[in-house]
Structure 1
Amino acid sequence: MTSERPRFRLGFLTHVQGRDHDIARTYRNAQELFAVADELGFDVGWVAQHHVSLEGGGLSSPWAFLAHAAARTTRIRLGTAVTVLPLEDPVRLAEDIATVDALSGGRVEIGVGSGSSALEYAAFGKDAGRKRELTSENLDVLRRALAHDEVGAPGFRIQPRPGDFGRRVWQGVFSAQGAEYAARRGSNLLLNRAAYGFDAPTDEVQRPWADAFLAAWDQPHRPRIGLSRFVFPAKDRRTALRAIGDDVHRAALRMAESGAFPKGLGADEALRRFHAFYGHPDDIVAALGREKVLPVATDLITQFNPAVPDHDAAVRALELIATEVAPALGWKPARPDEPASVEPAPAPASASASASASAGVLR
C-alpha cells in the first residue's frame, strides 16, 4: 500500500444522440468523441444501450459500436453503462464481449442493468415483472462464460477465450438494497446521473447507496464506484444554458409524464432534478467539491444526456473536462503510451479496511 493519494479514473458516457435523424452521422460523431477522449487521456468511454429509439438516435447494439471504437482508439477503455441484461442471451453476449476485448487488447468494461422500458421487454417477449430475477440469472451465466467455465451444454466454452473479467463487471442500481446485492456478487457499482422519484438532491439520495455498497463489500480486491454525472462546461453559464437548457427541460417534462419527476417543472428545477453541473469550469469544480457521493467514487463518468449539444460543443466540453475540470479535482491523464488502468490507484496506507475500500476518492 502506498501513502500517495489515489488517482481516480475519468470517463465519459454517450447515449449516441444527434440533432437530426441522420443516424449514420450521429454514430460517426459518437465515434469521434471516443477518438477525442482517447487523445485527451480519458480513462474510459462508455455507451448506453437503448432498444427504443431516442430523439435523434440511440444505440441498440453497443458491442458492434465498441468494436469500431476499438479500431479508432489506442488506450481508452471501452464499456457499457449499461447493457440491458435481461434482454440478452448471456452466452452470446459473452462471446461479443470477449471478441471486443480481444480486438481492443483487453480494454473492455462490462456494465449491466435491468433497464426500465416495458416496451423493450414486450418487444423481446420478456416479462418486465421478472426483470430483477432475469438480471440475476443472466449475470450468473455471463460471469461463468467470461470465466471460461462450461455454459449451456457439457463441454461448451465460449470463444475467443476471455481475459480476466473478475474485476471488470459493473452493475447499475437504484437502491441501497441493489447496491448491497452488487457488492455481494463482487460487481463494481454504477450510479446514475439522477435519482428518479425523489425530491431530495441526487447526491443526498445516492450517498447511502454507496455507503451500503462499501459496507457489504467482502472481496479481496478494492471496490470501485462509478459515479455518472451531467457535466457540461462552457465559456460561461449563459453559453452552457443555450446548449443544454431546452433539451434538459423537455426531457424533464417527458419524465414527469411517467411519474419520475413532478409535473409542471420549470427549467431551473429540471436542471436540479438532473443534478446538472454546467457553466464555467471554475463554477463546476466548486459545485463538484460539494457533491456528496464524489468523495467515495473511484470513477467519475461525465455525460451530457439528456442534452444533445452540437458536435463541436460536445468536443469542446470534453476538452474542458479533461484540461480544466478534472485536473482541478486531482485527476491526471495517463501518458500517451500508458494504457488506461483497470484498477484505481491504491488507497492511503493509513486507511482502515472499510475506509480503504472507499479511498479511491476524488481530491
Structure 2
Amino acid sequence: MPTPDRPLRKLGFLTIGLFDPADPAAGHRSTLEIIELGERLGFDSAWLRHRHLQYGISSPVAVMAAASQRTSRIELGTAVTPLGWENPLRLAEDLATVDLLSGGRINPGVSVGVPMHYDTVKDQLYPDSADTEDFSYARVDRFARLVAGEKVREFSGKQGVVEEFSNRVEPHSAGLRERIWYGAASLKSATWAGGNGFNLLTSSVVFPGPDEEPDFAAVQQRQIRAFRDASAASGSNSARVSQGLVVIPTDSASSAQREKYQRYVDERTPRTSAPQGPQRMMFARDLIGSSDEIAEQLYAHQGFQEVDEVAFALPFSFEHEDYVQILTDIAGTLGPALGWARAE
C-alpha cells in the first residue's frame, strides 16, 4: 500500500437521509442515530444531502438543529443546499441560529443554478417571479454577505417601548462566513469559489471542459488546483477542500451485505464509462472492497492526492444496519489506513 505524503486530516461522511414515504419519521430518526454513531466513532464531520420533492432530507437545517442537541463535537454540514430553492436572507437567519445552538459546528455547503425540473415546480416555488429569479453566482454572494453581517438596510434602533430592530441578519454567528463551502463540479465554478473566499466541496460528479480528456480523477485534480490558485491569488491560503467519493469497505460485512453492495456498484458502474449528456457529466466509480484495497485506490486517485479531508458518501438505498457496518469500517480500518487519527 502506498505511503501518503501527508496523513488524512479530517474524516467525514455524507448521507441522503433516505426515508419510506409511508413512515418518514423513522427515516429521519435513523439519520440522527447515524450522526450520533459518527460522533462516537470519532468522525470529524457529518454532511446531509438536500433533496426537494424526493424521499430524502428536504430540510437539513432542521435535521442539523436536532443533531446539534444530540451531539457535542462532530461538525454538521450540507452538501449541498441548492440556493435556487432558498431565500438567502431567511436561510442566513436559520443557519446562524443553528450554528449558535451547535456551538459553531455548522458548515453550510451551497450551489447555484436553475432548480432541477424547474418547469414543474416554478409556479409553486416563485409564483410571481419565476421568470426573473437570478440563479447565478450573485445569489451565493448575497447569501454570504448576509451571513457575514453586512448591512441589510439603514433602519435600526428602538421603536416604541420594547421593539428594537437591527440593520443586519440576526442572530449573527461570528465565524460562520468562513465555514461556507461551494459545491463545484466545473473548472469555472472551482475557480470562482476560490476567488471569492469559499471552501470547496468536490464530489463524485465533474463536468470536464470541451477540450479535456474524459478522465475523472485528472479533471478533478485540475479543478482543485485551479481553486487553490484562485484562492491564493485572492489573498487566502487557508481555504479548505473536501472530496466526497462513494466508498464501501467490506471488512466486517456479512456475505449477504457484500453481495448486495456489489450489485449496487455493478448497476452504477456503466454510467462511469463515458461522459453523459450535452454537459459531458462524468461520474466517479464507487470504491468497494477491503479497506486496504480502497486505500490503495484512493492513494492512486489524482483528486484524492490533492486533499487532506474527505466526506465519503454513503450509498443511497441501503439499510440502517448497512450504514452502521460501513461507518464502523471507515472509522476503524479505512481511516487509519489513510493516516487519519480519531478525534477524541
TM-score by length of 1: 0.78
Q: CA deviation at 1:203?
A: 1.4
Specify the alignment match of 1:314 in structure 2: 323
Q: CA deviation at 1:196?
A: 6.0
Specify the alignment match of 2:311 in structure 1: 301
In the alignment, structure 1 segments of 5+ residues that lack a partner are 262-271, 336-363
The AA in structure 2 aligned to 1:213 is F
Q: Is the alpha carbon distance of 1:20 and 1:274 closer, same or farther for their aligned partners in structure 2, counting shifts above 3 Å?
A: farther
Q: CA deviation at 1:254?
A: 9.6
CA contact (8 A) 1:231 1:304 kept: yes
Specify the alignment match of 2:25 in structure 1: 24
Distance of 1:250 and 1:124 partners within structure 2: 34
Q: Is the alpha carbon distance of 1:130 and 1:309 closer, same or farther for their aligned partners in structure 2, counting shifts above 3 Å?
A: farther
The AA in structure 1 aligned to 2:75 is R
| Equivalent position to 1:243, from 260, 272, 290 | 260
Q: Is the alpha carbon distance of 1:211 and 1:160 closer, same or farther for their aligned partners in structure 2, counting shifts above 3 Å?
A: same
The two structures, once aligned, show a CA RMSD in angstroms of: 3.2
2:325 maps to 1:326: no
Specify the alignment match of 2:117 in structure 1: 118
**Relative to structure 2, which stretch is displaced further, 290-299 or 223-232?**
290-299
Distance of 1:240 and 1:195 partners within structure 2: 29
2:224 maps to 1:210: yes
Q: Is the alpha carbon distance of 1:291 and 1:7 closer, same or farther for their aligned partners in structure 2, counting shifts above 3 Å?
A: closer
Q: CA deviation at 1:157?
A: 1.4
Larger radius of gyration: 2
| Equivalent position to 1:180, from 191, 197, 201 | 191
> In the TM superposition, what whole-angstrom CA distance separates every residue of 1:84-103 from its partner, at most 9, and x where no partner exists?
11221111101111111111
Specify the alignment match of 2:104 in structure 1: 106
| Equivalent position to 2:238, from 192, 202, 222 | 222
**Relative to structure 2, which stretch is displaced further, 107-116 or 224-233?**
107-116
**Relative to structure 2, which stretch is displaced further, 114-123 or 285-294?**
114-123
Specify the alignment match of 1:148 in structure 2: 149
Q: Is the alpha carbon distance of 1:59 and 1:238 closer, same or farther for their aligned partners in structure 2, counting shifts above 3 Å?
A: same
| Equivalent position to 1:277, from 287, 291, 313 | 287
Specify the alignment match of 1:65 in structure 2: 63
Q: Is the alpha carbon distance of 1:322 and 1:246 closer, same or farther for their aligned partners in structure 2, counting shifts above 3 Å?
A: same
Q: Is the alpha carbon distance of 1:319 and 1:146 closer, same or farther for their aligned partners in structure 2, counting shifts above 3 Å?
A: same
Specify the alignment match of 2:15 in structure 1: 14
Q: Give the aligned length.
A: 316
2:307 maps to 1:291: no
Specify the SS of the correspondent of 2:204.
coil
CA contact (8 A) 1:202 1:275 kept: no
Amino-acid identity (%): 30
CA contact (8 A) 2:231 2:239 kept: yes
Specify the SS of the correspondent of 1:49.
coil
**Relative to structure 2, which stretch is displaced further, 121-130 or 272-281?**
121-130
> In the TM superposition, what whole-angstrom CA distance separates every residue of 1:247-298 from its partner, at most 9, and x where no partner exists?
4566678999x9559xxxxxxxxxx944211121121111112111112113
Q: Is the alpha carbon distance of 1:5 and 1:129 closer, same or farther for their aligned partners in structure 2, counting shifts above 3 Å?
A: farther
